[in-house]
Structure 1
């Protein structure tokens, strides 16, 4: 076999591999499940996550209470800004039937634990390790907060950092 034939075989092989990769990519894209973003007025999508203390939280278990569902990351400065305000309002509203569930989007236990300790946070913080909840709620960018009423219905979706005053107003909106 001469040099030209080997080069032709090599180029043909590479071309076949690239074609196969393209076909697979198109197939994967067209067959993947399309998840619509959660909308105001819809029922909140249920999930089960474990918090930093090892306690399991199922969203539907909070029926009858208002839920301030917050998605966040330790690297997100707007998230860091609102966390102390959320904790202060949590202390005020947790006995009035309003809960905060904070879902970290897939970071390590170590970085989340350090963040929680730094800010003295007391509300339940869970890590969405495989990003299933983030995908179910179509979260991007951070922070995003869903206000869920006592019946499990989403009454609002808030994007961006919240002031302490606005957090308090939103807690009042979902108080049973």
Structure 2
């Protein structure tokens, strides 16, 4: 009976989609080239709440959440919110092609060698991390399903109020 309750708890936890892990440690710094050709360095964004979304064109959930992330960016950027979309594919032309179909206003960066993905232990697509104004990694969220954006919004607002 006890084992069955444990299994049910694990299943309920998984089904509820509690995929965000709270933490508080310095965010690994990185510099990546953006789609516009300029370098973006995370540490230069200190003072803002930064969402880093690791994604790929072959990832259905990534494609599904991309327009929702763009809405967040448009709504909150004036409040000190920065969103960086980090494409993890070796061939960045796939991302460029996709973004012609589904344009976004937030910066897209290319991690063609997956060095930054490794720094952030990205093991699921998409993986979204939130960095506070002090440059600390505060939340990691793996995967995406409809409704997760409400959790993103709650976490973003919490960090923007700090």
Query: Residues 83-110 of structure 1: CA distance to partner in whole angstroms, max 9, x if unpaired?
Result: 1000011001111101001111133221
Q: Give the TM-score normalised by structure 1.
A: 0.74
> Equivalences for 1:1-176 in 2 at 5 Å?
40-161=23-144, 163=147, 164-175=149-160
Distance in 2 (alpha carbons) for counterparts of 1:72 and 1:46: 19
Distance in 2 (alpha carbons) for counterparts of 1:170 and 1:65: 14
CA RMSD of aligned residues (A): 1.7
How far the C-alpha of 1:137 sits from its partner, in A, is: 1.1
Distance in 1 (alpha carbons) for counterparts of 2:153 and 2:115: 29
Gap runs ≥5 in structure 2: 1-21
Q: Which has the higher strand share?
A: 2
Q: Give the TM-score normalised by structure 2.
A: 0.80
Distance in 2 (alpha carbons) for counterparts of 1:173 and 1:115: 32
Distance in 1 (alpha carbons) for counterparts of 2:95 and 2:113: 15
Q: Which residue of structure 1 lines up, in the alignment, with residue 15 of structure 2? A: none
Distance in 2 (alpha carbons) for counterparts of 1:150 and 1:110: 32
Aligned length: 139
Distance in 1 (alpha carbons) for counterparts of 2:53 and 2:38: 18
Distance in 2 (alpha carbons) for counterparts of 1:67 and 1:49: 15
Bigger Rg, structure 1 or 2: 1
Q: Which has the higher helix share?
A: 1
2:23 is paired with a residue of what secondary structure?
Answer: coil
Q: After TM superposition, what 4+ stretches of structure 1 lie above 2 angstroms from structure 2? A: 162-171
How far the C-alpha of 1:165 sits from its partner, in A, is: 2.8
Q: Which residue of structure 2 lines up, in the alignment, with residue 33 of structure 1? A: none
